[in-house]
Amino acid sequence: MPYSESTALKVLSGIKDPRTGRDIVSAGKLSDLIYKDGILQAILSIEPALVEGFEPVRKLAETSLKQIDGVDKALVLLTSHKSAPKIKKLEKKSPQGNPHKPRRPEGYQGDSKIKSVIAISSAKGGVGKSTIAVNLAIALAKQNKQVGLLDADIHGPSIPIVMGMRGTRASTEEVEGRRLIKPNQQHNIKVMSIGFLTDNEGPIIWRGPMVQGAVSKMLWDVNWGELDYLVIDMPPGTGDVQIGLAQDIKPNGAVIVSTPQDLALADARKGKEMFQKVNIPILGIVENMASFVCPDCDSIHYIFGKNGAKNEAKKMKIPYLGSAPLEISIRESGDKGIPIALHDNDISNIFSKIAKNTVKELNTL
């Protein structure tokens, strides 16, 4: 028989909250139920102090869901949160304040062993930010560093595609008394994306605070382990979500990605101002799609302008980390899920240089 959501809800309704005796559905513990291609995933929201006692419930729910017709694999994840503090009616917020700041859960923190966090940002979409983030992470890993990659673009997660991880789903593991999400390994990098928790083909229709909370949890509630660098592919823009993420995650430094085009550079300046307002050091700017070499005549064309980001870096008084060309092989490798930086050629060497320049600036902080 095909899978039925009503059957899954009925099964979960038969499982009791050990503290109250109510079933976990009517008690409001079930926050999401996702089914695709034989994989059923349930997410239970539990108060931090009760997480440890809910592990038997999680296991029972997982075992019970596996028995449903049409379910080949079942995953039950526990998420925890603290209630937000009460806000006085007359309390004023600063312009750069974050009224929706998520609260860290109690116990072991998934990001506690990360040495440096690097945010890859672009105030404008379509400039190749995710491509730069992926290839920078791989270039760092090729330099014998322990690297993680976090896809913080909730509305348009592209990391699963570029990293060759379509259809991959997350699992959990217990670490020092907490049930954490286990990051997936690909190309010698630990990877986490909202795409591992939801239907890759479906849109995520969330407002700012929900997006901000989801990204923070993918930092704190994921067992990243020991990392030299965590590269975060930030969502495009400079609004409340981006400012909130920058404040909550507090990266060690930020890299701004832009094309040489005047329109993109105008947004890059906004990105610089955003990071300055939240006191995050800017490691530099990467110029993407800087030039195009004609495959027929080998002539160089500057489709979006010449040296725009390089000249802008001088004006903004920030380092110029390097440039990447508008190159067919970069696009093709990303579509195949085998990023160009994995290879050993002239293009991959470009990302190696960008990685070295990024680390150099990070070490000067």
Percent of the chain with pLDDT over 70: 84
Tokens (6 digits) for 362: 């990070």
CATH 3.30.300.130 segments of the chain: 8-80
Sign of dihedral through CA atoms 271, 341, 216, 200?
positive
Summarised one tens digit per residue, pLDDT across range 148-157 is 999 987 777 8
Sign of dihedral through CA atoms 103, 256, 142, 154?
positive
Is 50 exceeded by the pLDDT of residue 202? no
Residue 78 is classified by DSSP as: E
pLDDT bucket at 206, cuts 50 / 70 / 90: very low
Mean pLDDT of 33-62: 82
Amino acid (one-letter) located at 362 = L
**Residue 94 pLDDT:** 41
Q: Are 325 and 292 spatial neighbours (Cβ–Cβ below 8 Å)?
A: yes
CATH 3.40.50.300 segments of the chain: 114-363
Q: Are 163 and 186 spatial neighbours (Cβ–Cβ below 8 Å)?
A: yes
**CATH architecture, domain 114-363:** 3-Layer(aba) Sandwich (3.40)
Across the beta sheet with 30-36, the strand order is: 30-36, 39-46, 73-80
Residues 6+ positions from 294 with CB-CB distance below 8 Å: 300, 301
Residues 6+ positions from 72 with CB-CB distance below 8 Å: 38, 39
**Residue 80 pLDDT:** 58
Is 70 exceeded by the pLDDT of residue 193? yes
Pick the CATH number of 8-80 from 3.30.750.24, 3.30.300.130, 2.40.30.10, 3.40.50.10710: 3.30.300.130
Mean pLDDT of 165-192: 91
**pTM for the predicted model, two decimal places:** 0.70
CA distance 78 to 58: 7
Summarised one tens digit per residue, pLDDT across range 260-307 is 988 788 888 888 888 888 888 999 999 999 999 888 888 899 888 898
CA distance 352 to 75: 38
CA distance 275 to 268: 11
Summarised one tens digit per residue, pLDDT across range 303-347 is 888 988 899 999 999 999 999 999 999 999 999 999 999 999 999
